[in-house]
Amino acid sequence: MSQVLLDQNVPVGVRPILQARDVRTVYQMGWAGLANGDLLDRAVKAGVEVFVTCDQNIAFQQNPNTTPMAVVILATNRGSVIQTQPNRIAGAIAAANRGACSVARFGRSTGSRQIRPLLA
């Protein structure tokens, strides 16, 4: 069982999705308001194996690939979207590798796809 830390920007509905894991929140740890670098340092020292955040910029502001824990970035912070696809987050955490940063994407469950214009 891996220890998972949820950032303060992760919707509260994510925690029940991960009930088979040891899940803590930044608030529970008393780390709310810490800057990302300090937060990651404390998480590593506390033995956190997977850090889950909705902060899309964390990979550019910090270098999570140099930490001995996995970082999973949720591509949305909309709880309603995450709740419709709970296997996406559970799968991303299960597949997360220490020292790696990955993104859990949440698409439309209807199977529709986004069409992007061609670049000239």
Average pLDDT of the chain to the nearest whole number:
82
pLDDT higher than threshold 70 for residue 116: no
Q: What is the pLDDT of residues 66-89, one digit of tens each?
A: 678 999 999 999 988 888 888 888
For the beta sheet containing 22-25, the strands, ordered from the edge strand earlier in sequence to the opposite edge, are 22-25, 3-6, 50-53, 70-74, 101-104
CA–CA distance from 105 to each of 39, 44, 54 (Å)? 23, 25, 11
